[in-house]
Structure 1
């Protein structure tokens, strides 16, 4: 049976933004591991050069640790390229606060004044350091830079681009705690090809990374919030190639690229997603609800379609909507197969 939570429409400062929904699968759509996924990492001449600057043994060992004893053949992903020098994953776990400065209802990042917000993030960082002392924590701020809205706007695209002064403000906040920044895009009736280049000057910075939200990619022309949107592997490959070019041209460390997901149709043709040494791809479980429902979503939509790395979101409010719900702990998340290496708090 499929269980779906309704889309939540938020209105703040004249901007409509949309909450999150989640489905529960019966598990009948699980795939068997492909022969390709079972292969050992392949090294071209370029990859051999990359490997010479990377501790490949440590990289392989950490990926095996993240698989958490999985014997299905899905994890760890064995056909991935080795990353360029300076890669964050899988050597550190990213703990991110998510939100928007226009709204206290879109996430913890915009709910509190900066000093208190960063203090709360530090509390979560300490919890993860205690739960998994062998994995250093990298704090992060995940900012919604292009927001889906209920008003079509002058161009009828139903999205609002955040002012640069807000993005600058988030980047400056992050510097105070040595955090990295993610800029998240909700395209609505626009396209990722139109929105991503507008953030290029920020993505050229070594500490700024990318997130995209298929939920609000409305390829059918429907209004955001009326149904769940989708991205194809072709869209994801466009972003990955774009980021890879920036990394090469600006001599940057690899970019982390987060894709939100809580249904199968949100991301299509995952087997065609291309991995690159310049980009580290995280498929991020973005559903909310009680712990068993969240674990089921992870098991049915993240586990059986391995791309590279896995993420998991905790909703401070939505996860508690139904009594006697509770927030999942770091210790519980570390029991998942695979272990998520990117954790987002909203």
Structure 2
């Protein structure tokens, strides 16, 4: 199912291409064969955090230096974002660049995370990590897996919400896959006709772990009741602030390092009232450019909807298949992305 194409120098993202039929029996069977051996029964036992008292406080001078470097000589005054709070001890950004594979274990069409068996997936992701380390030797890379834990569906389901929620056994599998290379985990929510307040508690036990972070996808937040895939959804600053406050409470209660919080975006209406988004020491917000197409279109989307509406940090998605749909399209390189203003500090491969 395709959404209408946008015109001009902006591109459509459709990060959900293939998601609406994500849970077909054929894909489930294929996934079960390759991932059953990775399942664990207690996700909380996978990772432990050092207590706050033992984590080194943030070097504020270094922080200022790094966010200025990411601004890449911006002269508009928008970057780096002014008056942002320094993060709590243990913050990942901007001290490391996060490079992740995205997907769902139920479908090979939703991204590299579900397309390949864990060992092959890690071979491929580690190759991308090395490319980034070579392109920017001064910035260490933190590898991660970005898992769609709630998938927008083309059918209403039992509760009529057009949402497929992944079971704990699937998330536990992802946790163990991440542990293979000391990676962090993002759990992504496509709420469809549900809402973020109802869906966050379903993954709270995972978000209370130190190595688990959050992603939300406005494309599939269907506040008008439309079926996912028929139009592009939206989140307001109020929704983003709710999520950030939720994460901040978990950080405080569980003595955790800051959470990284990614928001997908490739149109203006996907995120409304961005100036009202509140920044917190416990949460690091990444506005993530989620559009696909040729390099100039991707750069145009980044410029219009990420660079021009600054929040805190920025991300950029690369599609192994969709970015190459029209010859002679190609995948953008780390060297090219490092020239963007600001330079993205979170990179996602689908």
Deviation at 1:54, TM superposition (A): 1.8
Please state how far the C-alpha of 1:13 moved relative to its aligned partner. 3.6
Q: Is the 8 A contact 1:9 1:225 kept in 2?
A: no
Q: Which TM-score applies when normalising by structure 1?
A: 0.88
In 2, Cα distance between the equivalents of 1:218 and 1:105? 22
Partner of 1:340: 344
Picking from 101, 126, 134, the partner of 1:122 is 126
Matched with 1:44 is none
Deviation at residue 5 of structure 1 after TM alignment: 4.4
Pick the aligned partner of 2:85 from 81, 84, 87.
Answer: 81
Give the superposition deviation at 1:6: 8.5
Q: What are the ranges of 5 or more consecutive residues in structure 1 without an aligned counterpart?
A: 18-51
Q: 1:81 to 1:151 in 2, by over 3 A?
A: same
Change (3 A) 1:5 1:237: closer
Give CA-to-partner distance per residue, 1:236-279, whole Å, 9 cap, x none. 00000000000000000000000000000000000000000000
Q: Which has the higher contact order (CA 8 A, sep 6+)?
A: 2
Aligned to 1:68: 72
1:91 aligned to which of 95, 105, 110: 95
| Within-5 A mapping of 1:4-83 | 5=12, 8-10=17-19, 11-14=21-24, 53-83=57-87
Q: Does 1:243 align with 2:247?
A: yes
Q: CA deviation at 1:53?
A: 2.5
Give yes or no for the alignment of 1:106 onto 2:116.
no
Q: Give the RMSD, CA atoms, in angstroms.
A: 1.6
Tell me, yes or no, if structure 1 residue 306 matches structure 2 residue 295: no
The Cα of 1:12 is off from its aligned counterpart by 4.1
Paired residue secondary structure (2:148)? strand
| Residue 232 of structure 2: aligned partner | 228
TM-score of the aligned structures, taking structure 2 as reference length: 0.87
Secondary structure in 2 matching 1:58: helix
In the alignment, the residues of structure 2 paired with residue 12 and residue 76 of structure 1 have an alpha-carbon distance, to the nearest angstrom, of: 38
1:285 and 1:313 in contact (8 A); partners too = yes
Could you tell me which residue of structure 2 aligns to residue 189 of structure 1?
A: 193
2:320 alignment partner, one of 299, 311, 316? 316
Within 2, Cα distance between the matches of 1:300 and 1:197?
Answer: 33
- Decide whether the 8 Å contact of 1:187 with 1:217 is kept in 2: yes
Structure 1: distance between partners of 2:220 and 2:116:
25
The whole-number CA distance in structure 2 between the counterparts of 1:89 and 1:9 is 31
Distance in 1 (CA, whole Å) between partners of 2:245 and 2:141 is 27
**1:212: how far off?**
0.1
Tell me the matched-pair count.
312
SS in 2 for 1:165: helix
Cα pair 2:186 2:212 within 8 Å, conserved: yes
Which residue number corresponds to residue 275 of structure 2? 271
Q: Distance in 2 between matches of 1:13 and 1:232?
A: 29
2:3 corresponds in structure 1 to: none
Secondary structure of 2:307's counterpart equals: coil
Q: Which runs of 5+ in 2 are unaligned?
A: 1-6, 28-55
Hey, what's the Cα distance between the residues in 1 that align with 2:18 and 2:320?
17
